[in-house]
Structures are given as C-alpha cells and as structure tokens.
Chain A
Amino acid sequence: MRSFWRTLDRLLRHGTGPARLLPRGTELDRALLRDIGLVVLADGVVGVSFGAIAVSGGQPAWVPLAMSPAVFAGGAQFAALYIVLGGGGVSAAVIAGLVLNARLLPFGFAVADVLDLRWPARLLGSHLVLDESTAFALAQRDPARRRAAFFTCGSLLFVVWNLGTLLGVLAGRAAGNPETLGLDAASPMVLLALVLPALRDRRARRAALLGAAIAVAGTPFLPGGLPVLLSLVGLAAAGRRSAGRRSAGRRSAGRRSAGRPGSGGPGSGGRIRSRAEGRA
C-alpha cells in the first residue's frame, strides 16, 4: 500500500496522465493524497455496487456503463436507477436526478477560481465538479494546492468510479441476486454516510426529517419517484435563515465557508475537510 501512494505521488508531481493538468511545482502532501485515495477507493466500491445493482435489477449492461461516465454523480445515478427499478417513469427518474444534481451549480461557483483555465481545460474540468472534489479543493488555502486537490480527486474518481461500475456489471451477472448478499443495503447506507455531516445543521436536519417522513408516507400511494420529490415540502421546516449570529460567524470564517459545500451533503467531505484543515 505504501509504495502505491509513493508511486501515485511521483506520478502526480512529475506527471503523466491527469497530472499534466496540475500546474508545475504543485505539491500534494502524502496525507492529503491518502485522504483522497481513501475516498476514491470507497467510491470505487460504491461504483461496483451501482453496476451490480443495475444489471441484477434487469437493466442492460450499457445503462450503467453509459451513466457512470456521462452523468458521473453517484447520488443522482442511484436515484434515477431506483426510480426506474421501482417501476417509476423515466421522466421522474431524470427529474429526480436533476433536482439532486442542482447542488452542483453552487459547487461550480465555489470552485470557479480553480477552473479559471483555458477553455478546453475549463470545460473538461467542469465535468469533475463533485461533492468530493469540491470539498477537497475548498479545504486548501493555497491556490495551487486547491487546484491540485480538485483535479487529483476528480480525475482519480472518474477513473475508479467507471472501473468500479464495469467490475460491478461483470460481478453482478455472476453474483445473481444481490439481496442474498445484502447489496440492497449498500446504497441507502452510502447516501446516509455521505449526508450525515450535513445533518449537523439543525435547520437542515429538521427539513430532512420532515421530508423523509413525507416521502415514506407517500410511497404506498404515489407513483415511483414522486415521494422523493415531494420531500422538498420539508424545506418549509428549514425556515428562514435569519441574519445575526450565524451569518456573522460565517463571514468571519472567511472565504472558504462562503462557498461551503458541506450542507449539500455528500461530503464525507465534512469529515474529511475538517481533518484536512486540522493539518493545514
């Protein structure tokens, strides 16, 4: 394992492949690289389960294999897949996926400085705007490190996510019923683990609990996909975010918290960011 990190480190600094996107002289310390690596490996496992769940749910292999590179957003991919597997309409699947991915809009603004590059790099790099890459980028103060963290996390995730999906497609067919293996517990678990840091915010927690209750209550009666969209009614419980103590705190915390991705959820980010900051 140790030599794997060393190789990765060397590769990223002196550059082939994704490393060519990194500016010269960029350094990622080994600890940050290890944190990114852990997240990437964990997401690889999720990718495997995405591929396996899709094909064992009866989707043809090309569906997960096209979705993973093209959509490249785990939560939305699972959401769309579940709605379709649950008998919901394709348009409900697309809408649910898009609503979930709307958070990538503020994330894109949060890392816009990192992507202030020539057009080809900017457009390609935009595809790497993810919860994880955003969280890692925002945890770095130095601009060069921000860029390095963003591109390292994003491009490694792209490779591993797609390899994982391919593996899952292959294994899913061999494995047969994923329920026997308990695989159906994987995706609610992954989503829960990713969203937990965001639930530390009291208002978000209240909204989320109400929304979840509405969604579960609606499931017996409503067509697939709709209960999840209906959970947005829970936003009413979040209430208004008053000025005052909270926003004052944020302002003093400076630039990073302004673009804070944390409450958007998928952040194993929350946890990782605080670790990374602790070191900085």
Chain B
Amino acid sequence: MTWLAIVALAGGTYAFRVCGPVLHRRIELSERVRWMLSVAATVLLCALVATSALTTGHGFAGWARPAGVLAGGLLAVRRAPFIVVVVAAVATTAALRLLGVR
C-alpha cells in the first residue's frame, strides 16, 4: 500500500460522503439509482465474504477458516449479538487449527 493509494482512496471516499450534504438542496438521486448503488454494495460485500473466507491468493484457504465463518454465520442468522458471532468464528477457526485441521 502506498501513500498515493491511501490518499486516492481517502479522497474519493470523502467525495462520495460530502456530495449529499453539499448538494442536497440542488439535486436528488432517483430511487432507482439509490437502489442500484445499495445492491452493488451488497454484491461486492458478499463477493468479499466468499473470496476471503474460501481463498488465499489463487487457491483454497483450507477448511478451518470457512468452518469458522460458517459457525459464526449460523449464529448470525439466529440473531446472536455481533460480537458473539465474530468471536465464535475466530475461536472455531483457531480451535480447528489447534486440532490440526488446516
């Protein structure tokens, strides 16, 4: 990661944030555009979940990490508190590795 990359990411992110507060009396996004933006974010986040849970570099990440995410995911679906979900995922993965599951 370079300075330039961080500045670009930070600057672009701030630009997204500040548009609404600065422009809101002048333009309004159509609901369709808002909806597409939010679904795009969901799609990207899910792709990140899938790739970072299942892969390392260009290969399979091993069983321990996806198993941990699955355990946490089941708790999340059952509406366990956020922190319990995260701790359960981490603990499951760590425990499996301790037992020799890669």
Partners in one complex: yes
Residue ranges of A at the interface with B (Cβ–Cβ < 8 Å): 38-39, 41-42, 45-46, 59, 63, 66-67, 70-73, 75-76, 78-82, 84, 86-87, 90-91, 93-94, 96-113, 115-116, 122-123, 125-127, 129, 179-196, 198-199, 201, 203-204, 207-209, 211-216, 219-221, 224, 227-229, 231-232, 234-235, 238, 241, 247, 250, 258-259, 261-266, 268, 271
CA distance A45 to B76 in the complex (A): 17
Q: How large is the interface on B (under 10, 10 to 19, 20 to 34, 35 or more residues)?
A: 35 or more
Given A42-B83, A265-B41, residue A71 in contact with residue B13 (CB < 8 A): yes
0/1 per residue, B1-13, Cβ < 8 Å to A? 1111111111011
Whether B39 lies near A238 (C-beta < 8 A) is yes
B70 to chain A, nearest CB (A): 10
Given A93-B5, A104-B16, residue A188 in contact with residue B39 (CB < 8 A): no
In the complex, residue of chain B having the shortest beta-carbon distance to the beta carbon of A64: B1
Whether A186 lies near B90 (C-beta < 8 A) is yes
- Taking a contact as CB atoms closer than 8 A, the residue among A71, A126, A194, A261 that contacts B9 in the complex is A71
Tell me which residues from 6 to 42 in chain B have a Cβ below 8 Å from any Cβ of chain A.
6-10, 12-14, 16-24, 28-29, 31-42
In the complex, residue of chain B having the shortest beta-carbon distance to the beta carbon of A104: B16
Whether A45 lies near B97 (C-beta < 8 A) is no
Question: How many pairs of A and B residues are in contact by the CB < 8 Å rule?
Answer: 306
Whether B48 lies near A82 (C-beta < 8 A) is yes
Residue ranges of B at the interface with A (Cβ–Cβ < 8 Å): 1-10, 12-14, 16-24, 28-29, 31-59, 61, 64-65, 68-69, 72-73, 76-77, 79, 81-83, 85-86, 89-95, 97
A-B contact pairs, 23 of them (CB 8 A): A45-B86, A66-B3, A67-B1, A70-B9, A71-B13, A78-B52, A87-B57, A97-B9, A104-B16, A105-B19, A109-B24, A126-B14, A126-B21, A184-B65, A185-B68, A188-B69, A192-B73, A212-B51, A213-B50, A227-B47, A231-B46, A232-B44, A238-B43
Q: Which of A84, A90, A224, A262 counts the most chain B CB atoms within 10 A? A: A90
Query: Using Cβ atoms and an 8 Å threshold, which residues of chain A touch B2?
Result: 90
Interface of A is mostly: helix
In the complex, residue of chain B having the shortest beta-carbon distance to the beta carbon of A114: B21
Given A45-B83, A235-B40, residue A94 in contact with residue B8 (CB < 8 A): yes
Given A187-B52, A207-B39, residue A266 in contact with residue B28 (CB < 8 A): no
Query: Using Cβ atoms and an 8 Å threshold, which residues of chain B touch A106?
Result: 20, 29, 33-34, 37-38
Query: Using Cβ atoms and an 8 Å threshold, which residues of chain A touch B12?
Result: 94, 97-98, 101
Q: Which of B56, B69, B82 counts the most chain A CB atoms within 10 A? A: B82
